[in-house]
Amino acid sequence: MTLNVVLPQSSTKVRATALDVHYGDKQALFGVDLDIRAGEVTALIGPSGCGKSTFLRCINRMNDLVEGARVSGSLTIDGSDIYDRTIDVVQLRARVGMVFQKPNPFPKSIYDNVAYGPRIHGLAQDQAELDDIVMTSLEKAGLLNEVKDRLLETGTSLSGGQQQRLCIARAIAVEPEVILMDEPCSALDPIATAKVEELIDELRENFTIVIVTHSMQQAARVSQRTAFFHLGKVIEIGDTEQIFTNPQQPLTQGYITGRFG
Amino acid sequence: MQTLTLAAILLLLSSFAFRLGRKRAFAVSAHEPRSLHSLPGYYGSWVALWCGLPAFAVLIAWLALEPTLVRELVITDLPAAMQTLPAERIDILINEVRNAAQGHATANPDLAAAAEHYNRLRQVSFAAVTAISVAIALAGAAFAYRRVQPALRARPRVESSITVFLVASSTVAIFTTIGIVLSLLFEALRFFQMVGFTDFLFGLNWSPQMSTRSDQVGSSGAFGMIPLFTGTMLISLISMVVALPLGLFSAIYMSEYAQPRVRAVAKPALEILAGIPTVVFGFFAVITVAPLIHSAGEMIGLSVASESALAAGFVMGITLIPLISSLSDDVITAVPHSLREGAFGLGATRSECIRQVVLPAALPGIVGGVLLAVSRAIGETMIVVMAAGLSAKLTFNPLEAVTTVTVQIVTLLVGDTEFDSPKTLAAFALGLMLFAITLALNVVALHIVQKYREKYD
């Protein structure tokens, strides 16, 4: 739906330069150079094990949690290196939210799920403000109408698609600048997927979004720019329309036409 | 010994039957194994079952009935004067006959004759059972052997008889439980005929003695269980105060913070603690901890009994640490990794993630484990027998000596006991109450765990 819109030139939000990632002895990313622009949806596509999720998890340093993971090269957000020793990973993750492959609401009420981030970061001065943040986030995630009468029920009682939108509401409640999505629709049925995709398109106004997806149709539907990963390297990056209609690299063409992957 | 030989013979016959049956199956299939309904081994097993099961049933029935039968026959053969004796006297006579039959000399010629008769009877009956069971085994094998046909549904038959074995094994535990509860119940009922139920349940004094004459000093026994149960509760409470934080914190460290190498050493080490016999902890409590608390109390001017509830409860708490920590460790590790990632992804610190996400998710399991530990503490015997003392004082002061239900059961049943005095029967009533309480705790624990468990896939 967005393919024919002429994109405004926007500024770079996240910039990776010569980024290498090792898991123990295994190298997962080889010298990745990638710019992600503010206010756009960037899709990362490629066959399984190509390093797209690894790259995504570098942006909020979730790889720190993996034993034996080493990151070298530089990765900047708004020009400042997030692997610098002065950067506090807790503050970084408040700026870079994440939505996971499988919906993972906490075993708490719907309200507490959304209020969790604002609470740990002290974003609300009082209860009224917190209520306001929760309601706005649920509203933005398109979930408010479905759950407004059952805010105190547990988040796990929702359907899969609702749970995933709850997780998105939970992420945007912290008002991050960047939202990372790791195959957010792979556990959802087509109707729930359509709702989440619609939501991603709306969120683009306020957030920079990076989405990993296995579905090329999804990449084409929701993203403005697409990067193709293969064996730990970025093969090609460009406007989504160009990647899907006129790929420059034979590997990219092979993948999007379904010859491998 | 003879019986064992017979059983071995029957087993041997069954194994022959198995081979024969399998061979027969090959033969009737005309070397075309696909024409058989089941694998040849099943035909062998089927023949072996027909050979062994009825024969063993006869053998077991004989083992159960033979003593009574022989006894009755010996009694009818005794001189008439002896037969009219009261039942207890006859029991004594029969015992003497049995002793004589095993070669001990007896002075009474009548009994010597009876002993000979007894031996003869046993020989005859054993010869009979040998003949009958072997005959049945052979007949069963022959019957089954002749019916081996390709169309015979051997596998379902063998498998259904195996199911019967499985069901029988699982009912053994159930019937044992029922038997124990019933025996507790009936002995306790006898106790309540002598001592009032409310006196027992709500009585504040415990001094379990009964007079044999009405003019004896201290003739009035008191059977109020309240002091014992407050003692049990006090010691259990102290042990949980020790075990709960230590066990939980060590579980959190093991599952969330410890490096794999530390964990690989520390977790088994903690589990060794669970393997130490409680009697060892008991003398640790008596010899080390109790004097330590005693002298520590003296230093700050408190009078501490040499056998204090605090010492027993503290040591019992140490023994419960591995239970709580390994159960909690299991449930904490079972909390899905995706929940932790969700919290970290929102910028939670490790401690926020544990306190606000992991522990609430693991709470039902932890509560279940703690209740299990409480019921263990209530039933724990050895440590309190050694360290808690015997004085049934109604007190909540942890520095005084208290006694527990289990300790009293032990003292009531140790030494010379007569099974018709309330002193002894009181042990059964106490046991019943203890059983009721731990059962209730376990039921509550299971209920909590099931009700609040989050379903993760």
Cβ <8 Å between A100 and B345: yes
Q: Nearest CB to A100: which of B342, B361, B455?
A: B342
* Digit-coded pLDDT (tens) for A210-247: 999 998 899 999 999 999 999 999 999 999 999 999 99
Structure confidence at residue B436 as a pLDDT band (50, 70, 90): very high
At residue B453, the pLDDT reads 66
Q: In whole angstroms, what is the distance from residue B192 CA to residue B208 CA?
A: 14
**pLDDT, position B220:** 60
Confidence class of residue A9 from pLDDT cuts 50, 70 and 90?
Answer: low
Residue B199 inside a domain? The answer is no
Interface of A with B in 86-115 (CB under 8 A): 89-94, 97-98, 100, 102, 104-108
Kindly state whether residues B270 and B135 are assigned to the same domain.
no
Closest Cα partner for B194 from B221, B219, B225?
B221
Q: What's the average model confidence in pLDDT over B137-158?
A: 91
Residues B133 and B258 in one domain: no
CA gap B89, B98 in Å, rounded? 14
Residue B246 lies in a domain: yes
Query: B352 with B258, same domain?
Result: yes
Q: B222: how many CB neighbours lie within 10 A of its CB?
A: 16
Q: If interface means Cβ-Cβ distance under 8 Å, which residues of chain B face chain A?
A: 336, 338-339, 341-349, 352, 356-357, 360-361, 454-455
Please name which of A141, A176, A182, A183 lies closest in space to residue A162, comparing C-alpha atoms: A141
Q: Mean pLDDT of all residues in chain B?
A: 87
The predicted model gives B85-113 an average pLDDT of 80
Last residue of a domain, one of B152, B168, B184: B152
Give pLDDT, residue B112: 81
Beta bridge partners of A225: A42, A239
Contact A243, A252 (CB under 8 A): yes
Encoded tokens for B377: 């503490």
The mean per-residue pLDDT over the stretch A181-204 comes to 90
B336 close to B456: Cβ distance less than 8 angstroms: yes
Q: For residue B175, is pLDDT > 80? A: yes
pLDDT tens for A11-30 read 889 999 999 999 999 999 99
Q: Tell me, yes or no, whether B178 lies in a domain.
A: no
8 A C-beta contact, residue B74 and residue B118? yes
Instruction: Check whether residue B373 and residue B242 sit in a common domain.
Output: yes
- Measuring CA to CA, which residue among B444, B445, B442 is closest to residue B434? B442
Q: How far is it, in rounded angstroms, from Cα A99 to Cα A111?
A: 18
Nearest-angstrom CA–CA distance, B324 and A129: 41
- The neighbour count for residue B435, using CB atoms within 10 Å, is 16
Per DSSP, what are the bridge partners of residue B222? Answer: B207
B136 and B282 housed in the same domain: no
Q: What is the pLDDT of residue A10?
A: 63
Q: Who wins on pLDDT, B312 or B110?
A: B312
Domain annotation covers residue B181: no
Between β-strands B206-207 and B222-223, what pairing exists: parallel, antiparallel or unpaired?
antiparallel
Q: Could you read off the pLDDT of B261-280 as tens digits, one per residue?
A: 998 998 888 888 888 999 99
User: Does residue B248 carry a pLDDT above 70?
Assistant: yes
Alpha-carbon gap, residue A21 to A31, rounded angstroms: 9
Contact in structure between A145 and A82 (CB atoms under 8 Å): no
% of chain B residues with pLDDT over 90: 42
CB atoms within 10 A of CB B374: 25
Share of chain A above pLDDT 70, in %: 96
Please answer yes or no on whether A108 and B342 come within 8 Å at the CB atom. no
Q: How many domains does chain B have?
A: 2
Nearest-Cα distance to chain B for A1, in Å, is 30
Residues B87 and B229 in one domain: no
Token duo for residue A254: 């092979």
Cα dihedral A107, A108, A112, A114 sign: positive
In this structure, the answer to whether residues B110 and B247 fall within a common structural domain is no
Contact B413, B427 (CB under 8 A): yes
Please report, for chain A, the start and end positions of each structural domain, with discontinuous segments joined by +: 12-256
In this prediction, residue B457 has a pLDDT band, given cuts at 50, 70 and 90, of very low
Asked if B341 lies within 8 A of A65 by C-beta distance, the reply is yes
CB-closest option in B342, B344, B347 to A106: B342
CA nearest to B352 within chain A:
A120
Torsion of CA B39, B40, B43, B48, to 10 degrees: -120
pLDDT in tens, A44-90: 999 988 999 999 999 999 988 888 899 999 999 998 999 988 889 99
Most confident of the following: A2-6, B239-243, B360-364: B239-243
Average pLDDT over residues A129-158: 92
What count of CB pairs under 8 Å joins A to B? 69
Instruction: Specify if B210 maps to a domain.
Output: no
The span from the CA of B230 to the CA of B394, in Å, is 7
The H or E element that residue B260 is part of is helix B260-275
Asked whether residue B91 falls in the same domain as residue B228, the answer is no
Confidence category of residue A1, pLDDT binned at 50, 70, 90:
very low
**B324: CATH:** 1.10.3720.10
Do A117 and B342 lie within an 8 Å CB cutoff?
Answer: no
CATH of domain A12-256: 3.40.50.300
Which whole number is the average pLDDT over B353-373?
90
Judge whether B405 lies within some domain: yes
Q: Which amino acid does the sequence have at B24?
A: R
Residue of B348, B361, B455 with shortest CB distance to A120: B348
- Residue A76: what pLDDT? 93
Measured from the Cβ of residue B22, the count of other Cβ atoms closer than 10 Å reads 21
* B37 touches B148 (CB < 8 A): no
- Which residues does chain A have within 8 Å of residue B454's beta carbon, measured at their own beta carbons? 107, 154, 156
Does residue B163 lie within any of the structural domains?
no
**Domain edge (last residue) among B125, B152, B179:** B152
The least confident of A152-166, A189-203, B98-112, B219-233 is B98-112
Instruction: Look at A171 and B346 and tell me if their CB atoms are within 8 Å.
Output: yes
| Rounded Cα distance, B91 and B398, in Å | 53
Q: pTM (2 decimals)?
A: 0.76
d(CA B244, CA B325): 8
Residue B326's nearest CA partner among B371, B271, B276, B374 is B271
Which range of residues forms the domain containing residue B359?
A: 222-452
Q: How far is B339 from chain A (nearest CA, A)?
A: 6
* Rounded Cα–Cα distance for residues B132 and B125 (Å): 10
**CA R_g for chain A:** 18
pLDDT of B18: 94
Non-local CB neighbours of A215 within 8 Å, separated by 6+ positions: A185
Per-residue pLDDT tens digits for B329-347? 989 998 999 999 999 999 9
Q: Return the pLDDT at A2.
A: 45
At residue B336, φ and ψ (nearest 5 deg) are: -60, 145
Q: Phi, psi (5° rounding) for residue A40?
A: -130, 160
Please give the angle made by the CA atoms of B359, B365 and B367, to the nearest 5 degrees: 85
Please check the confidence at residue A6 and state whether its pLDDT lies above 50. Answer: no
**Within this chain, do residues B226 and B146 fall inside the same structural domain, yes or no?**
no
